[in-house]
Amino acid sequence: RVAIFVCRTFIYICSMGQQFVHHTRQAIHDIRSKQLVQVGCAKCPASWAQWQDAVGVVLTLLLALMLCLEPILHCFGDESAVLFARRCEAGDRSIFVYSIFSSCAILMYFLLLTDLSVLSTRVSAYALVCFRVISEAALFLFGLTFFVVAFACAVSSLEQESADFEGIPKSGLQLFKM
């Protein structure tokens, strides 16, 4: 319990604190120098237009939300809980939302780690190939879904006795299993 508390405190103070100071300074500099970009219907600092900074801002917001929902902090005032307990009545109310923010923050950390792929040409080439393959895989999945829906509609309109193909959802599920 103590180790988890120390690690979370380190993340909140060092990681979130450093990210907050960095992005706040950058945003103030961009706003003062009028370097703003249009994103949707809002104007944002130009530095946030780069994907690394945008992910860093999202990570900072996720860490701030995690701090607000931290189960250990909610259990501090509970007399029935031990010191640094993660499970108590007050902490259990926010544990699910906290876990969602936590998993999103972990994904943001790993997304920022992909920037380190430039340190090695082999890793950089592998990352480049992976990004190219992901777009091709997405196109394949779109095509597969289109054909499964088309054949699910066709099969469910046939007169047949199989319970596995009664209706479009069941037909689609069976075709995806194949």
Encode the chain (178 residues) as per-residue pLDDT tens digits: 778 888 888 888 888 889 899 989 998 998 899 888 888 888 888 888 888 889 999 999 999 998 888 887 777 776 665 666 666 776 677 788 888 999 999 999 888 888 777 777 777 888 788 888 988 999 999 999 999 999 888 888 777 788 888 888 888 888 888 8
**The model's pTM:** 0.65
**SS3 track for the chain:** CHHHHHHHHHHHHHHHHHHHHHHHHHHHHHHHCCCEEEECCEEEEHHHHCHHHHHHHHHHHHHHHHHHHCHHHHCCCCCCCCCCCCCCHHHHCCHHHHHHHHHHHHHHHHHHHHHHHHHCHHHHHHHHHHHHHHHHHHHHHHHHHHHHHHHHHHHHHCCCCCHHHCCHHHHHHHHHHC
